[in-house]
Amino acid sequence: MTPAEIIAATDAQVKHEARRVKLDNIRQGTLIAAVYNQHRTKKSDKALTWRDIFPDTTQKKEQTVEQMKAVCMDIAAVYGGKIIRKEVKHG
């Protein structure tokens, strides 16, 4: 296998495993939430879902304004556009 094929195969395995783990979490979280919800004593108690049992813990990448502008410029360049910078004053 070429290095590109190895990387593609590895990426596919990682995505498959992540999907399997998520489906397991959904299944287990739904069961746990159903048992909890069945035994709630007050109607005012919040009904749980699987997301309450397994919250999303993926790291969100923070972007600076400069990074966002660079991405916009790259996208514009791909489509043959040009971004003209204008200073906008608020207030």
- At 2-27, the pLDDT tens digits run 788 888 888 889 999 989 998 999 99
Closest alpha carbon to 48 in 58, 38, 60, 57: 38
- Distance, in Å, from the CA atom of 1 to the CA atom of 7, rounded to the nearest integer, reads 10
When pLDDT is cut at 50, 70 and 90, the band that residue 91 belongs to is low
In this structure, what token pair is assigned to residue 22? Answer: 């998520």
- Distance, in Å, from the CA atom of 69 to the CA atom of 67, rounded to the nearest integer, reads 5
The answer to whether residue 59 scores a pLDDT higher than 90 is no
Name the more confident of 11 and 83: 11
Q: Tell me the pTM.
A: 0.54
- State the number of CA atoms in the 13 A half-sphere of 36 facing the CB: 14
Task: Please state the φ and ψ torsions of residue 67, each to the nearest 5 degrees.
Answer: -65, -40
